[in-house]
Structure 1
Amino acid sequence: MQRPHLLIAAIIVAGTISMPAHARDITHAMGVTDVPDDPQRIVVLTNEGTEALLAVGVAPVGAAKSWLGEPWYDHIADQMANVTNVGEESAVNLELLVALEPDLILANKARHEAIYEQLSAIAPTVVSERLRGDWKINMALYTDAIGKGEEGQAALDAYDARIAAISAALGDSLDEEISIARFMGGQTRIYFKDSFSGLTLEQIGFARPATQDKPEFAEQITKERIPEFEGDRLFYFTYETGNGEGNTQAEDWLNDPLWQNLAVVQAGRVHEVSDAVWNTAGGYIAGNLLLDDIENVYGLESTR
């Protein structure tokens, strides 16, 4: 089989990749890139990047596979019906990407720094700095790069306005300390503030238990640390890929005496939510669905 970088070079030499007319310089994590003024064939290589495009009415021609779903999350599947799956964020199929003849690629440094030169040889490539809590920064970069900066900012402003309305409606409920747990195959994590759900809860104005009030992402823990999940309300989600391992882990922990003895459990203030929405998708559409969950749990009127 021909190596991807050799295939890319051969295609460029053969002239079968038509490089678009460039119009604007975009500064990003890997430098400055001249991008087309009105890109028509965009490939996006992160899940949160896909949601950024969809939020401004743009469907990519290719995208990294959703971490859950075949190949897309349920909450975006209808909008992705004609989009080509180019592999996972951490394992991009470069040959398939070349075949799509993109005029712009959106990538992420944490995921794609090692293949940046190959991506840039295929099409102008704009790279966000990091993942985790930075989805709004990334969305602003992505939408600017595709020529939809104003639309992207309008969407982010609407999101912030929605959070402000929810925060105001919650009133004294904001004093509740919110705890977050995630179950995966063979491991359990406690989530902190530099995570998708953690950032959202912080923006709303919720307090976090002292054990989770950290500017970090998450930490794998053992059962002895179950008491660290104590709080006024607990949300948990399970990363289940279909092999049953995530659900087995969740069932084991949820039935453990230490879990059952948590005051928040005994008070009936534990809520199971979607892993895709609260953690894995990490983008604009998921963010709004997370806010829907908050409204439902607290009995608020919809701010949609």
Structure 2
Amino acid sequence: MRKLLILFAFVSFTLFLAACGGNDSEEETTNESGDQESSEETEDNSESEGNGDSYVVEHAMGETEIEGQPEDIVILTNHGTEALLELGITPVGAVESWTGDPWYDHIEDDMEGVNVVGLENDISLESIAELDPDLIIGNKMRQEDQYESLSQIAPTVFEETLRGDWKVNFELIAEAVGMPEKGQEVLDNYNQKVDQLSDDLEANDKLDTEVSIVRFMAGDVRIYHKDSFSGIIIDEVGLARPEAQDVDDFAAQNVTKERIDEMDGDAIFYFTYETGDGEASTVEEEWIEDPLWNNLEAVQNDNAYKVSDTIWNTAGGVRAAKLMLEDLEEHLLN
């Protein structure tokens, strides 16, 4: 009996110590979470994981404060979708690609599970709200009228324009999602590709090639100048442009066959915006079968190349830009 009493007392004392230890641990945790030093330590850890404090982004519509690292992002431009994918982000919602079902071929594999929220020029506020995003990224030229409504759903950042250098919008998107350093890595990688192509062209005496850019559409034929998606990339590489196209604006639109000589160059890259009804393809066929087209020097020298409208114009993003560089390498060097 005496031994049992001693054993009972020992066990009781051990349980008492364990209980005290558990209370002490819980109290320390509570104190740390409310202590300034502990709070700063927690914030530092969050920042190292990309979940830092709020930050303010200046954009076309003013300033927007964003809390922590956005995770559920809705993107309202085609080029913006490419930007997010290159940053390693899959959006919860995105506008449908201008061509594709519903995405461009060159991004389709990475868009599984992404919800369609309309078109760039016809977004669905209801669809966006249902996704409960913590960040919306759009464009003033496309969705200015919906900005206030979008801002009621989630913090919203808008680009200023769709034309000009695509890298300007890319940098804003990288800033908006709290990943400017990753964004710079993507741009550095692209710039390296530009420099390499430029060096290869120069080594093969091809850098002075005058590149012409032509687009066929239903009801419109265009010659693209330097302030266009493809025009800027051509200029970055250092390739020359025909005199009629060496202009610092967007494009010559509604071109008639009386101006077909402006399409000539050492090489012609042409593309067609086909929506599925066949009308644009009919326009293309009418032009490239015309004797005036076939009298162009580039055509006679077999230097007229049909390329993807998506890659050379419509997508307008970083992935398309890199694929366009591959087209230039294939046709001008290989």
Deviations 1:219-262 (A, max 9, x none): 22111111110111000001011100111010000011111111
Q: CA deviation at 1:22?
A: 6.9
Matched, 1:119 2:150: yes
Query: Which position in structure 1 is the counterpart of 2:328?
Result: 294
AA of the residue aligned to 1:225: R
Query: Which position in structure 1 is the counterpart of 2:246?
Result: 213
Matched, 1:264 2:306: no
AA of the residue aligned to 1:197: S
Matched, 1:189 2:222: yes
Deviations 1:48-70 (A, max 9, x none): 11111000110100011111111
Which of the pair has more CA radius of gyration?
2
Provide structure 2 residue ranges, at least 5 long, that are not aligned to the other structure: 1-50
CA contact (8 A) 1:174 1:207 kept: yes
AA of the residue aligned to 2:66: V
Matched, 1:41 2:72: yes
TM-score scaled to structure 2, two decimals? 0.82
AA of the residue aligned to 1:177: E
Matched, 1:285 2:314: no
Query: Which position in structure 2 is the counterpart of 1:110?
Result: 141
Note the aligned Cα RMSD (angstroms). 1.3
Q: Name the structure with the higher helix share.
A: 2
Separation in 2, partners of 1:36, 1:243: 45
Separation in 2, partners of 1:186, 1:112: 25
Query: Which position in structure 1 is the counterpart of 2:33?
Result: none
Separation in 2, partners of 1:299, 1:230: 19
Runs of 4+ in 1 over 3 A off after TM superposition: none
Higher relative contact order, structure no. (Cα contacts within 8 Å, ≥ 6 residues apart): 1
Separation in 1, partners of 2:67, 2:194: 34
TM-score scaled to structure 1, two decimals? 0.90
Q: How does 1:82-121 map to 2 (within 5 A)?
A: 82-121=113-152
C-alpha distance 223-121 of structure 1, shift in aligned 2 (>3 A): same
Deviations 1:96-152 (A, max 9, x none): 111111100001111111111111111000111111223101111101111111111
Matched, 1:222 2:256: yes
3-state SS, counterpart of residue 173 of structure 1: coil
Matched, 1:72 2:103: yes
C-alpha distance 150-127 of structure 1, shift in aligned 2 (>3 A): same
AA of the residue aligned to 2:88: G
Aligned residues: 281
Separation in 1, partners of 2:53, 2:290: 59
